[in-house]
Amino acid sequence: MVRYGWLFDQKKCIECRACEAACKQWNGVETGAHIRYRLVRTYESGVFPNVERQALSLACQHCADATCIKACPVKAIWRRDDGIVLVNTDKCVGCGMCVKFCPYGAPQLHPATRIMEKCTMCVDRVDQNLEPACSTICPTGALQWGEWDQIQGQGVDRIENFSTPILTRPAMRFVDKGW
C-alpha cells in the first residue's frame, strides 16, 4: 500500500501562510476557535548582527508510530493503510491525552465541542487522487506532498525546532538549508 508524506524546504518558505489558509478553507475549520490543522511557525536564533529566521509549516505528521493513537483511551484515533492518521469524532471523549502525548502539537481540542481536531491530510482529496490543499497552494514549492517511498530518501528527518523523530517516525522530511 502506498504511504504519503511531506517534504518541506525552509529556504523556499516566504511565510505567506497560504498553506494555512487553504487548509482552513478546504476543511471548513471554524474561524475564531483558534484551531489550525496546519500552522506556520517562525523561530529566530543567533545574536545580532548574525540573526537567522526559520519558518516551519507544520501539521499532523501522520506518524508511523503515532503517540496520539497509543494515548487515546477510547481508540478514537486510527491509521489507514496509506498512513493517514484520522479521528473518529463520534468516539472522542475530549480527554486531551492525544494533545499531551503528541510531540508536534497537532491534536487540538475544540474549545466548544471538546472534540479533538487535526490535519486529515485532506483525506477526501487524497481519495480522489488529488493533493492536500496546503501543498497545492504553496507559491514557492516549499511544501511538497507525495508518496513516502519517494520522499523518505530526500533531505533530513530533523531540523532545528522540530521534535526528534526517533519515537514517532513522522511522514515529514526537510530539505537541509545548507547555508
> What nine digits make up the cell of 124?
477526501
CB contact at 8 A, 112 and 33 = yes
pLDDT tens digit sequence for 28-50:
998 888 899 999 998 888 898 98
Residue 44: CB atoms within 10 Å: 8
Domains of the chain, first to last? 4-175 (3.30.70.20)
pLDDT(6) > 80: yes
Q: For the chain, what percent of residues have pLDDT higher than 70?
A: 98
pLDDT tens digit sequence for 88-112:
999 999 999 999 999 999 999 999 9
Residue 87: CB atoms within 10 Å: 21
Residue 159: CB atoms within 10 Å: 17
Q: Are strands 172-175 and 4-9 parallel, antiparallel or unpaired?
A: parallel
pLDDT(162) > 90: no
Mean pLDDT of the chain: 92
pLDDT(179) > 50: no
Residue 18, H or E segment: helix 18-27
At 177 the pLDDT is: 64
**Residue count of the chain:** 179
Distance in Å from the first CA to the final CA of the chain: 37
User: How far is residue 67's CA from residue 54's CA, in Å, rounded to a whole number?
Assistant: 26
